[in-house]
Structure 1
Amino acid sequence: MIGIIMFFTALFMLIIGFPVAFTFAAVSVLFGIIAGFVEILSYAEQGQTLLSLIHDGWVEGISMFDYMPFRIFAIQQSTILMAIPMFIFMGIILQKTGLAEKLLESMGFLFGEIRGGVAISTVLVGTLLAASTGVVGASVVAMGVISLPVMLKYKYNKELATGTICASGTLGQIIPPSIVLIILGDVFQVPVGDLFKAALVPGLTLVGAYILYILILAYLNKDIAPSIPSDPSRGTKKKQVIRALIDIIPSLTLIILVLGSIFEGIATPTESAAVGCFGAVGLALMYKTFSIKIIKEASLEAVKITSMVFAILIGATAFSMVFSYTGGDEIVEKLMLSLPGDDKWGFIIFTMIAILLLGFFIDFIEISYIIIPILLPVAETLGINPVWFAILIAMNLQTSFLTPPFGFSLFYLKGCSPAGVTTGHIYRGVVPFILIQVIILGIVAFYPEIFGMTAQM
């Protein structure tokens, strides 16, 4: 039971706000020592002093960390994880070129005359940004600064406006190239290209569901998302269409270069990430926003984010090692295999509910590196297709950015919202989109063949 107690101790520390990487590392060392002491105590000889037992327990507990340098070295050699800093760098460069601003302005006026048009354009721009950057914070902030004032100006319902922006910003979690999918590829030890291909149709289905919801809502209530009068200063409709295409084509070109090279087998995800970085710098040159300062700022920010991810990964590696050593994985496996009903579906439903609830409190990185490795042996025992299971988890993790009270997208949007937009507006606004995500998740789970996947290996 030491491993289970360790798990809930780490979870409690995360909830009350301790730094993630240091929490995992400290808890691992503490419970490693406790586990060593308990093992020595169980075999203690008569007459052995308490001090000797404590010393032996300390040595036994610490000795299990002898292999940590080899694990860390293996992490550093992972070619899959090399894609993370490059995709982050690409996204930051694109953010600084003003690409999001150009897309939102053009498409906002292009669809503005339709009821709910600005919200629809926000979803479409969010899709393009997701497929070209995959950085949630950048997408939400960009659309919050540019799109939200426009929607509020034309009397859009605040809940609909904020919910649309938050949901659209999180599309980068499921639409390739996605940092979540790269991390899951490493955890599941499956090709990231296979995950990218499998995630594309579910991601676009989610986009279609968002747009359908906005259209239905605007049709039923004309005041919730009114149309925007055409702006003669922007020229004729034909000129507006041409202007929008000029702003969209660079993004589409970059998406084709990055994803096309992966899907056609021309390049690995790591190599295509390098292509994306090159393309992002090319766009900066094209928009005449390139400077050494931008490169320096983007590099520093990418290093900071990547360092955080790898620090968490190292702490999570120590955690999973101690968890397995203390027999926690065996307890979890027995629990999962004893769930009522069909073994596979009982495990899937329990897993999805658990990840959804954990997403209320902890980040997707911690879930990916701590929770999922505990569940993987059970999934393998049940013969579950790892690609299908990874896509279910990725779609579920996407909701962790939206679920109150700690969804990151909610904080990002609140930080850049006008004074009239409250946290309550944002919380209420994301609820319908969370429900849409859960519905699409259910369809992918029960009807995977629609999306070209199978549930069994």
Structure 2
Amino acid sequence: MSYELIAVLMFSSMMLMLLTGQRVFAAIGSVAVIAALLLWGDGGSEIAFSASMKLMKWYPLLTLPLFIFMGYMLSESGIAEDLYKMFHVWTGNLHGGLAIGTVGLMVMISAMNGLSVAGMAIGATIALPELLRRGYDKVMVTGVIQAGSSLGILVPPSVVLVLYGMIARQPVGKLWLAGALPGLLLAGLFILYIVIRCKIQPELGPTLSEEERAEITWSEKLRLLRAGIIPVAIFFCMTGLFLMGITSLVESSAVGATAATLAAALKGRLSFRLIHITTEKTLQISCMFMWIILAALCFGAVFDGLGAVRAIERFFVGELGLGPWEILLLMQLSYIIMGMFLDDTAMLVIVAPLYVPLVKMLGFDLVWYGVLYTITCQIAYMTPPFGYNLFLMRAMAPPEISLKDIYKSIVPFVAIMVFGLALVTVFPQIALWLPNLYYSR
């Protein structure tokens, strides 16, 4: 049996196990270990051990639990809720204003957390009930929250871009800066869609009532505006100090976690219960990430041992005779297909070690490609039938929102994200201008 056929069998076996409902790390890891033992006998057991040791030596991986802790501390302490009240008061006079405020909330949460899960949880528990209570169209606002939460893996400090930086050997600072403008571009396109849609159909996004507007004084507006100061200060302490070279990547994540804890204390909300809940959730998410990365490293090691990277290069360039842009398009399509079954971390650690050398050989910028990968993951998150965000929303949404509503809600936002991806693909400077400007100093 040829190595190429063995690689295809491994990949198809993994996808089949995922379709049966097995846990992601179990499906990936078991296929890798069984294949290693069948191919290389007892010596194959060293691959799993070597992968685990490689994981333990990834010093930047310390940022993972710290960023997650920071996000949950801000969420559980009510600081995210304060932010939503601020957006609620300042945008409530516009048709669709609360939906626009929700996008703003998601951008701020993304800048404090780096994960889409936290944005989805905050949007579904804080923003969605309020939007529905005020008569907003349930399909539109469900799509707003799903699309907005996906920004968490693109806007700095993105955890996914940290992992990509470790695999592709690219500076995390460059990747964070590269993701900033595309993230704001997508957020701007979401807001533009809401404005146009609510201009055409005002009943989809009603304004605040006259009584409510009369009750909100300017002093109240200014008081709530201060809610935005804390997230900006935390973002500066964390990302600003890192970009100025004062702190390392791991140190900046520790600064962010500490700043979030101090912010909760200043608000008078720091308690043993808050620390317990935040630590427990941080541990759950961090362990999930670690298991997936460990299993995927093992899978990637076996794949690499089979010469899969060289086989992919020969297949695309030699046998199919495709050009660089055609190969890039096929890689992006493969991410969307895999995104129906895997989360972004699993896709990254399985496929990036195979694709990154090919991307480099084709002459594309690896920082730019990291942004393309991340936007494609955002699209995959929201693509039926098994998009990650679709099922997160189904688990968190109130009973009146059906799975059909959730599927309908993402159609315009997926189209917007595909348009945004096309813009960044055709005009790489959207992603590269800011990092090139900063690092040319």
Residues 192-229 of structure 1, C-alpha deviations (whole Å, 9 max, x = no match)? 11100111011111111010010010111122212222
> Are residues 1:23 and 2:27 paired?
yes
Distance 1:307 1:150 in 2: 33
Distance 2:278 2:353 in 1: 32
Offset at residue 339 of structure 1 (A): 7.3
Whether the 8 Å contact between 1:144 and 1:416 is mirrored in structure 2 is yes
Whether the 8 Å contact between 1:163 and 1:426 is mirrored in structure 2 is yes
Residue 441 of structure 1 is matched in structure 2 by: 421
Distance 1:320 1:271 in 2: 29
**Unpaired segments of 5 or more residues in structure 2?**
435-441
Residues 225-263 of structure 1, C-alpha deviations (whole Å, 9 max, x = no match)? 122224558744522430231111111111111111122
Whether the 8 Å contact between 1:167 and 1:433 is mirrored in structure 2 is yes
> How do residues 375-394 of structure 1 correspond to structure 2 at under 5 angstroms?
375-394=355-374
1:286 to 263, 266, 280: 266
Whether the 8 Å contact between 2:368 and 2:432 is mirrored in structure 1 is no
**Unpaired segments of 5 or more residues in structure 1?**
36-59
Whether the 8 Å contact between 2:316 and 2:322 is mirrored in structure 1 is no
> Are residues 1:422 and 2:422 paired?
no
Whether the 8 Å contact between 2:339 and 2:388 is mirrored in structure 1 is no
Residue 225 of structure 1 is matched in structure 2 by: 205
Residue 7 of structure 2 is matched in structure 1 by: 3
Range 341-350 or range 254-263, more displaced: 341-350
2:325 to 345, 369, 391: 345
Whether the 8 Å contact between 1:201 and 1:451 is mirrored in structure 2 is yes
> How do residues 101-112 of structure 1 correspond to structure 2 at under 5 angstroms?
101-112=81-92
Distance 1:320 1:23 in 2: 13
Distance 1:64 1:183 in 2: 26
Offset at residue 77 of structure 1 (A): 1.9
Residue 131 of structure 1 is matched in structure 2 by: 111
Distance 2:105 2:143 in 1: 15
Residues 123-151 of structure 1, C-alpha deviations (whole Å, 9 max, x = no match)? 00110011012232232222222222222
Which residue identity lines up with residue 108 of structure 1 in the other structure?
Answer: H
1:245 to 209, 221, 225: 225
Residue 38 of structure 1 is matched in structure 2 by: none
- Cα distance change of structure 1 residues 29 and 140 upon mapping to structure 2, 3 Å threshold: closer
3-state secondary structure, aligned to 2:385: coil
Whether the 8 Å contact between 2:89 and 2:221 is mirrored in structure 1 is no
Give me the TM-score of the superposition, normalised by structure 1.
Answer: 0.89
Residue 274 of structure 1 is matched in structure 2 by: 254
Quick check: which has more Rg, 1 or 2? 1
Offset at residue 25 of structure 1 (A): 2.2
Offset at residue 112 of structure 1 (A): 0.9
Distance 1:146 1:66 in 2: 48
Offset at residue 340 of structure 1 (A): 5.8
2:169 to 182, 189, 192: 189
> Are residues 1:166 and 2:170 paired?
no
Distance 2:180 2:132 in 1: 32
Whether the 8 Å contact between 1:136 and 1:173 is mirrored in structure 2 is yes
Which residue identity lines up with residue 201 of structure 2 in the other structure?
Answer: N
Whether the 8 Å contact between 1:159 and 1:425 is mirrored in structure 2 is yes
Residue 178 of structure 1 is matched in structure 2 by: 158
> Are residues 1:319 and 2:323 paired?
no
Whether the 8 Å contact between 1:333 and 1:375 is mirrored in structure 2 is no
Count of residue pairs brought into register by the alignment: 430
Whether the 8 Å contact between 2:371 and 2:431 is mirrored in structure 1 is no
Residue 12 of structure 1 is matched in structure 2 by: 16
Distance 1:438 1:188 in 2: 24
Offset at residue 451 of structure 1 (A): 3.5
Distance 2:284 2:258 in 1: 20
2:37 to 33, 38, 48: 33
Whether the 8 Å contact between 2:47 and 2:301 is mirrored in structure 1 is no
Distance 1:304 1:232 in 2: 41
Whether the 8 Å contact between 2:89 and 2:216 is mirrored in structure 1 is no
Residue 67 of structure 2 is matched in structure 1 by: 87
Distance 1:443 1:262 in 2: 29
Quote the sequence identity (%): 29
3-state secondary structure, aligned to 2:203: coil
